[in-house]
Structure 1
């Protein structure tokens, strides 16, 4: 009888969610906001994979680990806690999880801020991925696109083979991708054996491998040293491994998926859950005050205690510009 393989769900919690300012702040990034029927995206992510994984690892940073801890205590699940002293991008974050695992362990890597519906389709995609990972492949999840979205990267594929990864396209390019029919949204979720990922990382990005290993070997209860961490090159897993490895397979999935990276996607999600909008498609978020919209349509009003945002739904990607401007000014409004 073969040993049952251990499947570990690795939750990456690093992002700030700058396109969801002023709701998302450094002290309360979007994955911890209880916007979703009273629960946060982080909580929903953990719940979703309970039935699929045997173990949970949370890779977070010194600023948000207390927020993760709160959720994990509430859900009553034991977990391995990895605390980065400074963000070093996804290649290093995933390397830490792999170093913390047994070589044969299967890791399912997911961000903590995605919304996913249609659990049957999700579960069968996960089963297929675990199967491929067991056979030594690095699996990336591609989502069947429902529109020419410019906020996501794309995967060009033939069957389950990846032809290329593409950056976020402009509108015309996105329309061409959709028309071709063999392009999927890049979900930023992965599945592989810990040892296979580390071999590939070592082959393509030995500096990230060596320096992440050194930082991990000197961890204290999962907490990483600042100086050793600062030495690790800040490189995304896409660039470090996915775009270079010959072991990549894609699982094409048609579960409902959104990275809720912008107010447009939050708006669409909230509408699907019955959040009120007026007859011109205007929505207010964050206040139950009576809010009247006159002479405008598809406009979102976001209320918080010390900052408000009013935007056209279509301009959602531009919120980042405000965040960047406030960051340059070292504004308290980001905290």
Structure 2
């Protein structure tokens, strides 16, 4: 059973296998999530391309999108066979593509169907099944709406619920605006946890630092970092000490670059491009001397045809790390 105090959120177009491998080098314990993968794609698509991951990514969860209990159950079985540690159902994504498929945040309006989906997935696999949702959608009152969804999924056997502490507006706001415009309501999630003392409730949305994440743990069981972890991944080097009792230590960034260069070389040998890997590393040295030059090299040279892992080492050479502790990155 995975009950993670700190997780890195599933983010479309961002948390692919290269991103997750990179993040795993920064924290050995945080729970990682895939991008949302539609159940139909899992069943009928190129499974290795969609679901493949490196063994070092554990613990890693597969997030599924869908609204058909039988299809989600089959996709969950496939995910378990691939070796994922958890299956998560997306009940929070507000994108147009998700709405047209009647899943994601739309499912907040049909909690009984969500419960049916969870029950089918639980019956299909032995690993944890979890749900990630919003506090409500459109004109819903978040008090009864979130309670109804929560009661349904836990009665159906869900092992955990992660709540993005914002409403989703399915009309009138773009997916990007839905990440910023609806106000955060952390207190609503705290009240949900107070009502569900024996259930795992995690919180997501707008958390910018390790300190903020720790503050939330006074009220809920887990905190999930999203864009902050992606744009400033250096903050992840403090996760294992802050949340899992690891011994604080200075992080070896040179060793990290060597690992990522080797990983990129293997990806290139398999027909990939350097930029597929390095695009997730651009913000690594945020605010450190030389970070701007590092970003410039990765944003330009790494995307040129034929670029090799030496580009990453050249970019790293521009960064001044002397006397800098791991947490400063």
TM-score normalised by structure 1 residue count: 0.34
Q: Which is helix-richer, 1 or 2?
A: 2
Of structures 1 and 2, the one scoring higher in RCO (CA 8 A, sep 6+) is: 1
Q: Which is strand-richer, 1 or 2?
A: 1
